[in-house]
Chains A and B, each alone.
Chain A
Amino acid sequence: MKVALSWLKRHLDLSGISDDLADLLTFAGIEVEGISEMPALGSTVIAAKVVSAEPVPKTDHLNLCKVDIGDADYPAKDENNLIQVICGAPNCHAGMMAILALPGTELKEYQIKKAKIRGIESHGMLCSERELGVSEYHGGIIELSEDIPIGVLADELFDFPDTVYDLEITPNRSDLLGYVGICRDLSAKLSRSLMPRKPVSFNVSDAELKLGLHNEARDLCPRYTARIIKGVKIGASPLWLKLALIKSGIRPINNVVDITNYVMLETGHPLHAFDYDKLSPKDDAQGYPDIVVRNAEDNEEFIALDGKIYHLDGSELVIADGKRISALAGVMGSQYSGISEQTVNIVLESAAFHAGTIRRCSYRHKLSTDSSYRFERDLSASFADRISDRATDLIIELAGGTVCGELYDSYPKQETDLILGVRPQRFELLIGYTLPGDKIRDILENLGFSFIQYGDFVPGPIQDIDQIYCHHAEEMKQGITEFSELEDCQHAHYYRVPAFRKDIVREVDMLEELARLAGYDQVPRRVELQHIMDRHAYRVERKATDWLVDWGSYETLNYSFCDPAQMIQLGYQEEDLDFVRLINPQSSNQSVMRISLIPQLLTNMVYNLNHAERDIKLFEMAKTYHPHKKGHIEKKRLSAIFTGKISDDYWQDGGKKIDFFWMKGCFTGLLSVLGISFSSVDCDAPYLIPGESFSYVSEGHLLGSFGRLRPDVLEAWGVDTGSLKQDVWILDFNLEPIIELCRNTSLVYQDIPRLPSVTRDLSFLLAERYGYAEIQQAILALDPDLINGVEVFDEYRSKQIPEGFRSLSLHVILQDQEKTLTDERVDRLMDSVQKTLASKYDITMR
């Protein structure tokens, strides 16, 4: 539903907030689906008179116009204030008042310049509605009424600048289908009162013309009013009325039809006008026509005002005269009974219809109109008469005529207003903060609710308000309205719900209105989570221990204190060691807080070796304790000791022994799955064998090390290495930098390549002085876009291979994101890989 800011302003003072109106609407619960700005056009777009319009020779549609621009400032105008303009619009004619955009004007889609068209100078453009940005209509140029003075600015005529909001009205809010309803919500939001409406001022004459009104479908038509207006003069509407329709996306037709549409836009309640003289009586002898509200008959025919024929199935509600259908109720009028230029007497319909029936009819016949859109949303019957009055007043004012007699009104079952109680304490309970009683009253009264009294709360609609006990009753009887204990009054507030708010039937519905209009931004946030916990660190710790368990390792727990002598046995120098020392240790070998987890893991391994275990994988995740300037610091570590076979003995394979590369995979694998990039450096742990150990670093942090334990350290722990005959491996992770390095990494999904990758193999002899890692890097660096991966799949040394060389076999994986790789392209690339390797690393291809 489109509403223009300029029209909202006629019902509510929006000064100071026009720019934020979209936000205001959104936070009142009215969704803004689109905003179209109509900027001010300035002094070069004016009303001008087309003095003459001559067809341009050899063209079929161009006119050479002389246009009177009056006092407007333009250098090329002649002494009679005329300028020359070429216009191609079909409705361009001499004598018309039009809108002229002079050269220099910036319109939405056009920049107006002095131009030569077919060799003829043209100074500007006569504008259509679309060119002016006021609507999408492009069927001709705007024709203004003749009484508009030459030179008036278009901005003044069209209320520019203006903004049109396209609003999405939720199905429960039938009260928001017009300007007044929108403004009513805004008024409650802003605590500003709606502007008073113009009182109705028409006079009623004698009932010269009569009508027979027969409501034969009272269930589907709760109210039907009809009013006869005699002697109207059908013609074009004034500009303001046309504009009101145009800006809301409705084409102006004639004054009477435009007024019905305008009142619909204003009130949200559709109206319809019939040509009185086209309506027939049931019985010709009656002398005046009938209007019958009834169900359609099965297979009855209806010719709509657009000339289309509809075959009805009997479920539709129709408005008929004595002979045939004059309108599909609430959806569309008929062709024969519509208002035409010849119409003199009219019947003005203002009614309420059953929403479901209108919805089904609209759906079944694929007929969606501004009228059906509103009737589908269950409009109140209470206002049909007042809305008729408003339209009547405008018709008399703009089309003349006189009202014939009183309103015909079939209103079999009067709608009664609901009375509901609302408790301020309940607001606090549900919404979470206190809304003062006077604020509640302010919001609800601006919404059209009327306050009745205080009293004990009774849920649901109140039948008899006098039965509600109110401790203020006595004061109220005396006419006192300022209650002493209002502030802490625990009573419910009782309100009469306005008839147009059919969606408000319970206390909670009113609480929603209050929360919505007081602003959801007023709802405080109740803190439940303090973010005390470092969830990331917690997850990394779990993942790291999961990793080791998945690699077959068992978790141990050891005391936090240890024997300082064991650190010496690991190979550390006493002067390099710094411990937190206990004052009252239980024994000298538990006299310090541990600075490494490895001595106890060694002890655990030896314990298990002594219990006939051979394949041992143990780890511990715990803290180490270090003296520090400010007392002590505690660091999380994850350390492991592995020896023996990879998996348990198995009858199919003899059980592969843990070796350097298995350990490397275990260490680097965890860093890789955590998404940490790292590089290796020589390890300086004194208990590991150089050349069979690595440390890993990333961004200057030491992440940890792994490697083979020195046999002499094992012997210090009492192991006879001569009889053990198996290597012992150590893993040691520094958890804190690992946790920090992956803290803010986030996984981003990569599109799966649509094209297949190509794998080529490469086998060559390589001198021992070169490492695999540099070969891999060299290949990847050749074409990082195309070479997706390099994997080694074989390495061997044998007598057939010259001394000092080894054979390496690699997969080179190629992938192009854009196009399928041709053999030729792959060959060329592999060729350059070989050449590079041959020149840099002296390889021999095999």
Chain B
Amino acid sequence: MQEQLENLVSEAKEEIARASEPNDILNLKARYLGKKSLLNSLYTKMKDLSKEERPAFGNQLNQIRKQFEDMLTLRSTQIKEQSWQKSRGDMDASMPGYPLSRGSYHPLSIIRRQIDDVFLSMGFEIAEGNDIEDEFHNFDALNTPPDHPSRNLADTFYVEGGDLLRTQTSTVQIRVMENYKPPIRIISPGRCYRNDKPDPSHSPVFHQVEALVVDKNINMSHLQDTLQNFASIMFGEGVKSRIRPHFFPFTEPSAEMDISCVSCRGTGCRICKHSGWLEMGGAGMVDPAVFNTLGIDSEVYTGFAFGLGIERIAMLKYRIPDMRILFENDLRMLRQFRGEL
């Protein structure tokens, strides 16, 4: 009987190894484990054995049964995997994937969207105004003296009829303060114009974003925090901001805002002219004279404002060496910004 068993096992091993289709597995299962299988008939022969022999023989049969089951399962899995490989055919998986069909925003738009998101998350609203403005909103209301050189044709574009192209988006701040009572918390991004010939750092058309906060109990510490938040969100954690005294006609005290150099992180390099700091724009507390012109009680309300050049931020952030590149709209430049968030 032992011999019979050994033959059965070796025969089954061969047959199972030869199976090549799911159907073969089914047939073999019937042959070796089914009701009419030899193994099954051996179970019935147990009763012919003595009581002492029965347990050992029973164990042996069970082990063989288990062995058959395992072999069949393994072979069945192998057959399935082979069939997937067959259906895949020849394929060079190293060929390139489907190309990105998405375009991109202009880098200045990307910066503008990032700035919008920073300030929207800080509870600011976005206010837009017209590019063509009058002298009152562009100069007078901002405390600019009547004979100030910035009002010249050499500095400012004028259109027929006496209006001008705004030289900064502060015009929007004035219009908002004319129409809304404090608290006011806005940024005003948009196009500005100055009569400069295009060169690496000038453009007759450029983009600015200005911020204005007017409320009770607003002081310079709020300005400090807003600037620092802006610096670290736009340029990364670790970038510091600072303000230093300066002069602007519509703020008092006035300040120039710097951030620590994004290239050398403050140790000094060519970009920051070895100072460790980069100039970002003007800032300050709104001059009471501006409030008074607009009928806001400067004894009750205080506020801060600052302005940033979007071109400058883009050029610093992406190390774009010449402002004119931004207005060429060369696809080889634009394509680089496909992945920028």
User: Which of A's residues lie within 8 Å of B, judged by CB?
Assistant: 527-533, 538, 542, 545, 548-561, 580-586, 590, 593, 604, 607-608, 611, 613, 616-618, 623, 625, 631-632, 634, 646-652
Q: In whole angstroms, what is the CA distance A580 to B133 when docked?
A: 12
Q: Would you give the shortest CB distance from B189 to chain A, in whole angstroms?
A: 11
Instruction: With A528-B123, A647-B101 given, name 17 new contacts (CB 8 A).
Output: A530-B184, A550-B103, A552-B102, A555-B103, A558-B327, A584-B153, A584-B154, A607-B330, A611-B330, A613-B331, A613-B332, A631-B163, A632-B130, A647-B99, A648-B99, A648-B101, A651-B95
Q: In whole angstroms, what is the CA distance A560 to B126 when docked?
A: 21
Find out whether the CB atom of A532 lies under 8 angstroms from the CB atom of B183: no
Find out whether the CB atom of B327 lies under 8 angstroms from the CB atom of A625: no
Q: Would you give the shortest CB distance from A620 to chain B, in whole angstroms?
A: 8
Residues on B with beta carbons closer than 8 Å to the beta carbon of A646: 101
Quick one: closest B residue to A646, CB to CB?
A: B101
Given A532-B127, A584-B195, A586-B195, A555-B106 contact (CB < 8 Å): yes
Residues on B with beta carbons closer than 8 Å to the beta carbon of A580: 132, 159-160
Find out whether the CB atom of A530 lies under 8 angstroms from the CB atom of B183: yes
Residues on A with beta carbons closer than 8 Å to the beta carbon of B108: 557
Q: In whole angstroms, what is the CA distance A597 to B246 when docked?
A: 39
Find out whether the CB atom of B132 lies under 8 angstroms from the CB atom of A631: yes
Q: For A586, give its contact among B98, B105, B204, B327 (CB under 8 Å).
A: B204
Q: In whole angstroms, what is the CA distance A38 to B329 when docked?
A: 80
Find out whether the CB atom of A555 lies under 8 angstroms from the CB atom of B132: no
Interface string of B76-104 (1 = CB under 8 A from A): 00000000000000000001101111111
B279 contacts partner chain A, Cβ-Cβ < 8 Å? no
Find out whether the CB atom of B123 lies under 8 angstroms from the CB atom of A608: no
Residues on B with beta carbons closer than 8 Å to the beta carbon of A625: 131-132
Quick one: closest A residue to B329, CB to CB?
A: A556
Residues on B with beta carbons closer than 8 Å to the beta carbon of A549: 102-105
Interface residues of B in 127-166 (CB under 8 A from A): 127, 130-132, 153-154, 157-161, 163, 165
Quick one: closest A residue to B187, CB to CB?
A: A533
Find out whether the CB atom of B109 lies under 8 angstroms from the CB atom of A557: yes
Find out whether the CB atom of A558 lies under 8 angstroms from the CB atom of B204: no
Given A530-B184, A551-B103, A554-B103, A560-B191 contact (CB < 8 Å): yes
B289 contacts partner chain A, Cβ-Cβ < 8 Å? no
B272 contacts partner chain A, Cβ-Cβ < 8 Å? no
Some 28 contacts from A to B, beta carbons below 8 A apart, are: A528-B185, A532-B180, A533-B125, A548-B103, A549-B103, A550-B102, A551-B103, A554-B329, A554-B334, A555-B334, A560-B205, A561-B205, A580-B159, A580-B160, A582-B159, A584-B154, A584-B195, A607-B328, A607-B330, A608-B330, A611-B332, A617-B103, A623-B191, A625-B132, A631-B132, A632-B132, A647-B99, A651-B96
Residues on A with beta carbons closer than 8 Å to the beta carbon of B105: 545, 549, 555
Q: For A532, give its contact among B101, B125, B160 (CB under 8 Å).
A: B125
Interface string of B185-213 (1 = CB under 8 A from A): 11000010101010000001100000000
Q: Would you give the shortest CB distance from B213 to chain A, in whole angstroms?
A: 12
Quick one: closest B residue to A537, CB to CB?
A: B128
Find out whether the CB atom of B159 lies under 8 angstroms from the CB atom of A604: no
Find out whether the CB atom of B131 lies under 8 angstroms from the CB atom of A557: no
Q: Which 3 A-B pairs have the closest CB atoms?
A: A556-B329, A533-B125, A648-B99
Residues on A with beta carbons closer than 8 Å to the beta carbon of B123: 528-529
Q: Would you give the shortest CB distance from B182 to chain A, in whole angstroms?
A: 9
Q: Would you give the shortest CB distance from A787 to chain B, in whole angstroms?
A: 34
Q: Is the interface of A mostly helix, strand, loop or mixed?
A: loop
Residues on A with beta carbons closer than 8 Å to the beta carbon of B154: 584
Find out whether the CB atom of B132 lies under 8 angstroms from the CB atom of A593: yes
Q: Would you give the shortest CB distance from A582 to chain B, in whole angstroms?
A: 6
Q: Would you give the shortest CB distance from A651 to chain B, in whole angstroms?
A: 7
B231 contacts partner chain A, Cβ-Cβ < 8 Å? no
Q: In whole angstroms, what is the CA distance A590 to B196 when docked?
A: 13
Quick one: closest B residue to A555, CB to CB?
A: B106
Q: In whole angstroms, what is the CA distance A648 to B185 when docked?
A: 44
Residues on A with beta carbons closer than 8 Å to the beta carbon of B163: 631-632
Q: In whole angstroms, what is the CA distance A545 to B186 when docked?
A: 23
Given A582-B158, A648-B101, A607-B132 contact (CB < 8 Å): no
Find out whether the CB atom of B330 lies under 8 angstroms from the CB atom of A583: no
User: Which of B's residues lie within 8 Å of A, judged by CB?
Assistant: 95-96, 98-106, 108-109, 113, 123, 125-127, 130-132, 153-154, 157-161, 163, 165, 176, 180, 183-186, 191, 193, 195, 197, 204-205, 326-332, 334-335
Q: In whole angstroms, what is the CA distance A625 to B166 when docked?
A: 14
Find out whether the CB atom of A583 lies under 8 angstroms from the CB atom of B99: no
Find out whether the CB atom of B106 lies under 8 angstroms from the CB atom of A533: no
Find out whether the CB atom of B160 lies under 8 angstroms from the CB atom of A554: no
Residues on B with beta carbons closer than 8 Å to the beta carbon of A607: 328-330
Q: Would you give the shortest CB distance from B190 to chain A, in whole angstroms?
A: 9
Find out whether the CB atom of A559 lies under 8 angstroms from the CB atom of B195: no
Find out whether the CB atom of B96 lies under 8 angstroms from the CB atom of A553: no
Q: In whole angstroms, what is the CA distance A553 to B337 when docked?
A: 12
Q: In whole angstroms, what is the CA distance A648 to B102 when docked?
A: 10
Find out whether the CB atom of A528 lies under 8 angstroms from the CB atom of B183: yes
Given A555-B104, A650-B99, A527-B109 contact (CB < 8 Å): no
Quick one: closest B residue to A653, CB to CB?
A: B98
Given A549-B103, A560-B191, A634-B130 contact (CB < 8 Å): yes
Find out whether the CB atom of B131 lies under 8 angstroms from the CB atom of A560: yes
Find out whether the CB atom of A631 lies under 8 angstroms from the CB atom of B103: no
Quick one: closest B residue to A622, CB to CB?
A: B191
Query: Which of A529, A581, A582 has the most chain B CB within a 10 Å cutoff?
Result: A582
Find out whether the CB atom of A584 lies under 8 angstroms from the CB atom of B157: yes
Quick one: closest B residue to A631, CB to CB?
A: B163
Q: In whole angstroms, what is the CA distance A744 to B63 when docked?
A: 75
Q: In whole angstroms, what is the CA distance A555 to B108 when docked?
A: 10
Q: In whole angstroms, what is the CA distance A794 to B131 when docked?
A: 50
Quick one: closest A residue to B97, CB to CB?
A: A650
Find out whether the CB atom of B330 lies under 8 angstroms from the CB atom of A586: no
Q: For B205, give its contact among A527, A559, A649 (CB under 8 Å).
A: A559
Find out whether the CB atom of A554 lies under 8 angstroms from the CB atom of B335: yes
Residues on A with beta carbons closer than 8 Å to the beta carbon of B159: 580-583, 593, 632
Residues on B with beta carbons closer than 8 Å to the beta carbon of A582: 157-160, 165
Quick one: closest A residue to B328, CB to CB?
A: A607
Q: In whole angstroms, what is the CA distance A571 to B57 when docked?
A: 102
Q: In whole angstroms, what is the CA distance A647 to B125 when docked?
A: 38
Find out whether the CB atom of B330 lies under 8 angstroms from the CB atom of A631: no
Query: Which of A530, A542, A585, A613 has the most chain B CB within a 10 Å cutoff?
Result: A530
Q: In whole angstroms, what is the CA distance A625 to B165 when docked?
A: 11
Quick one: closest B residue to A647, CB to CB?
A: B101
Quick one: closest A residue to B100, CB to CB?
A: A648
Q: In whole angstroms, what is the CA distance A530 to B131 when docked?
A: 23
Find out whether the CB atom of B329 lies under 8 angstroms from the CB atom of A604: yes
Quick one: closest B residue to A613, CB to CB?
A: B331
Residues on A with beta carbons closer than 8 Å to the beta carbon of B185: 528, 530
Q: For A556, give its contact among B132, B157, B197, B334 (CB under 8 Å).
A: B334
Query: Which of B101, B330, B331 has the most chain A CB within a 10 Å cutoff?
Result: B331
Q: In whole angstroms, what is the CA distance A580 to B185 when docked?
A: 33
Q: Would you give the shortest CB distance from B192 to chain A, in whole angstroms?
A: 10
Given A555-B104, A648-B101, A650-B98, A616-B331 contact (CB < 8 Å): yes
Residues on B with beta carbons closer than 8 Å to the beta carbon of A585: 157
Residues on B with beta carbons closer than 8 Å to the beta carbon of A650: 96, 98-99
Find out whether the CB atom of A533 lies under 8 angstroms from the CB atom of B131: no
Find out whether the CB atom of A556 lies under 8 angstroms from the CB atom of B102: no
Given A604-B329, A611-B330, A618-B329, A552-B125 contact (CB < 8 Å): no
Quick one: closest A residue to B154, CB to CB?
A: A584
Residues on B with beta carbons closer than 8 Å to the beta carbon of A632: 130, 132, 159, 163
Residues on B with beta carbons closer than 8 Å to the beta carbon of A649: 99
Q: In whole angstroms, what is the CA distance A593 to B158 when docked?
A: 11
Find out whether the CB atom of A608 lies under 8 angstroms from the CB atom of B331: yes
Given A623-B131, A631-B132, A552-B103 contact (CB < 8 Å): yes
Q: Would you give the shortest CB distance from A803 to chain B, in whole angstroms?
A: 39
Residues on A with beta carbons closer than 8 Å to the beta carbon of B158: 582-584
Quick one: closest B residue to A632, CB to CB?
A: B132
Q: For A558, give its contact among B131, B329, B332 (CB under 8 Å).
A: B329
